[in-house]
Amino acid sequence: MAEAQSLFGVLRQTVQPDFVDALERLVHEAPDRKLCRVNALAFAAENGVDEEQAINGFLHASRLGLFDMSWNVLCPGCGGVLDANTSLKTVQSDEYTCSLCAAGYEPTLDEMVEVTFTVDPRLRRIAAHNPHELSPMEYFRQIYWSSGVDLPESEEDYGAKVDEFILESLELPAGEKAVMSLQLPEAFVIVFEPVTHSAQFLEVKGEPTKERQSLSLVYDRTHRHAETLTLRPGPLRIQMENHADVRTLPSVCIANDALHELLGRRRSFLTAKRVLSNQTFRDIYRTDAIDVDQRLKITSLTFLFTDLRGSTELYDRVGDLAAFDLVKTHFSILNDIVSAEAGAVVKTIGDAVMATFPTPDRALIAAMRMRDAMRTLNQERGNEDLLLKIGIHEGPCIAVSLNERQDYFGQTVNIASRVQHLATSREIFATGSVLDDPRASAFLTERGLKPISHNVTLRGMTDEMSIFTIP
């Protein structure tokens, strides 16, 4: 405990005190289940903490060993965790299959990969540290469903909701056999096993029968889903064998309104895209994010490129040392603005900056702040030395590892760079995809700014596209 207090003291030196206070309360007072796969966004809302401060705080807490970070691949249909990873490097780039939804998905970092935080057992031991000892209901709550499913808080409410759609469930130890006997109602029934992600669909219809029907199921690490079987309402005997190396939890569920209502209670979660675009993450984890052979898709990311106009003349005019100090000051200002707007600097190239933002509005706000900051710096110096050109574009891309750095690849990156090259001094150029964002559009309207449109043909592209100048 003394070591934990010391680590909390270190944490207070790097993040906001109100976050650390809330985190200590969570560790000392919350029930076990609240410390498993913590949703950082929900934690921020519940404790009145700024979202970015909460994200930064959990990242620092993980680096210190207070919490363990997990990268979970979610099913976009049911919200179940299809794969849990201690590192993004082990997330596959091909397809994941959800047997409960009978669908396959290619993972994307902004829709299917969440980042959660579980208390380290050295700080506090919780039941979820031994998931194969959890009851079936708690396994579903803490391990199968993600932090993005808003489950009932109290034990009574959660249990009552689950009872509305689960007919039977049992714990089947590794290598064991068991028999489950039940009465089948007329309904669409799913025999679902969350540990091996196996499912058997049963279409129960027709005239009820008093004759016992039989079904045999084998659970291992390879079986996922069989064709739907048609049975009649009435008695069913299920023979189950567990060939897996861990305990399994076969559960017979009715695909009714109660199940669909529960699965539809989705809430925002911290996405891998947002973490990769977080400056704190890039600073403290550096090259630990993506493996050199990985190619991970992002459906929407906003890129901002900047460059200094006339920097060569600046070096000639004021000398190398003075110019270097001035450019260094400019980099520091831009870094602070990017970080404050939930973005991250990917790299600098000469006097240029490449940064990413989770949404177009944050990039647009950052661009306006950058332009104002350079104007203020020039006024203080009494010289127009720092003339910043800015280009912004939003679209799909691929997260990769290049030159021992987490980077991005794709046409969206190319367009953003070339849009910046079109700008002259003090101009912000943005594409239509940026201004189509409702929050970006609302920001400009609030500021009374009317972008000026003009069509251009960018190098390497055959079709014209609309570029907007932000006055």
Residues 102-117: what's their mean pLDDT? 94
d(CA 296, CA 281): 17
pTM given for the model: 0.91
Q: How confident is the model at residue 279, as a pLDDT?
A: 95
Which residues partner with 187 through β-bridges? 204
CB 217 within 8 A of CB 200: yes
Q: Which of 141, 140, 138, 121 is nearest to 129 (CA)?
A: 121
Q: How confident is the model at residue 53, as a pLDDT?
A: 95
Q: What is the DSSP string of 26-41?
A: HHHHS-GGGGSSB-HH
**266-283 tens-digit pLDDT:** 999 999 999 999 999 999
Q: How confident is the model at residue 166, as a pLDDT?
A: 96
Q: How confident is the model at residue 68, as a pLDDT?
A: 97
Does the pLDDT at position 437 exceed 90? yes
Q: How confident is the model at residue 83, as a pLDDT?
A: 93
The structure tokens listed for 397 are 């891309």
Q: How confident is the model at residue 180, as a pLDDT?
A: 96
Does the pLDDT at position 317 exceed 70? yes
Q: How confident is the model at residue 199 (pLDDT cuts 50, 70, 90)?
A: very high
Q: How confident is the model at residue 373, as a pLDDT?
A: 95
Helices of type H across 48-88: 51-64
**1-52 tens-digit pLDDT:** 666 778 899 999 999 999 999 999 999 999 999 999 999 999 999 999 999 9
Q: How confident is the model at residue 223, as a pLDDT?
A: 58
Q: How confident is the model at residue 461 (pLDDT cuts 50, 70, 90)?
A: confident
Q: How confident is the model at residue 232, as a pLDDT?
A: 97
Q: How confident is the model at residue 344, as a pLDDT?
A: 97
The residue with greater pLDDT, 369 or 456, is 369
Does the pLDDT at position 401 exceed 70? yes
Q: Which of 179, 21, 151 is nearest to 8 (CA)?
A: 21
Does the pLDDT at position 95 exceed 90? no
Residues 68-94: what's their mean pLDDT? 91
Q: Which of 296, 300, 299 is nearest to 85 (CA)?
A: 296
Does the pLDDT at position 311 exceed 80? no
Residues 312-339: what's their mean pLDDT? 84
Q: How confident is the model at residue 376 (pLDDT cuts 50, 70, 90)?
A: very high
Complete domains list, the chain, with CATH = 2-130+140-145 (no CATH), 166-255 (no CATH), 288-470 (3.30.70.1230)
Q: How do the residues of the chain divide into helix, strand and coil, expressed in percent and rounded to 5?
A: 35, 30, 30
Q: How confident is the model at residue 7, as a pLDDT?
A: 87
Query: Across the chain, how many H-helices and E-strands are there?
Result: 15, 21
Lowest-confidence range among 160-164, 229-233, 291-295?
291-295
Does the pLDDT at position 417 exceed 90? yes
User: CB under 8 Å, gap of 24 or more: what pairs does 142-146 form?
Assistant: 142/33, 142/36, 142/37, 143/36, 143/81, 143/194, 144/80, 144/81, 144/194, 145/79, 145/80, 145/81, 146/37, 146/72, 146/74, 146/79, 146/80, 146/81, 146/114, 146/116, 146/269
Burial of 331 (0-12, 13-18, 19+ CB in 10 A): middle
The structure tokens listed for 157 are 């409410």
Burial of 443 (0-12, 13-18, 19+ CB in 10 A): middle
Does the pLDDT at position 384 exceed 80? no
The residue with greater pLDDT, 227 or 274, is 274
Q: b/e string for 376-386 if b means 16 or more Cβ within 10 A?
A: ebbeeeeeebb
> What angle do the packed helices 40-47 and 51-64 form, to 10 degrees?
120
d(CA 172, CA 314): 73
How far is C-alpha 192 from the geometric centre of its chain's CA atoms?
26
**126-139 tens-digit pLDDT:** 999 999 999 999 99
Q: How confident is the model at residue 463, as a pLDDT?
A: 79
Does the pLDDT at position 290 exceed 90? no
Q: How confident is the model at residue 118, as a pLDDT?
A: 98
Residues 342-369: what's their mean pLDDT? 96
Q: How confident is the model at residue 153, as a pLDDT?
A: 87
Does the pLDDT at position 429 exceed 70? yes
Residues 389-415: what's their mean pLDDT? 92
**Percent residues over pLDDT 70 in the chain:** 97
The residue with greater pLDDT, 231 or 377, is 231
Q: What is the mean pLDDT of the chain?
A: 92
Ramachandran category for residue 460: left, alpha or beta (phi over 0 → left; psi -120 to 50 → alpha):
left
Q: How confident is the model at residue 177, as a pLDDT?
A: 97
Q: How confident is the model at residue 312, as a pLDDT?
A: 66
Q: Which of 7, 113, 19 is nearest to 62 (CA)?
A: 7
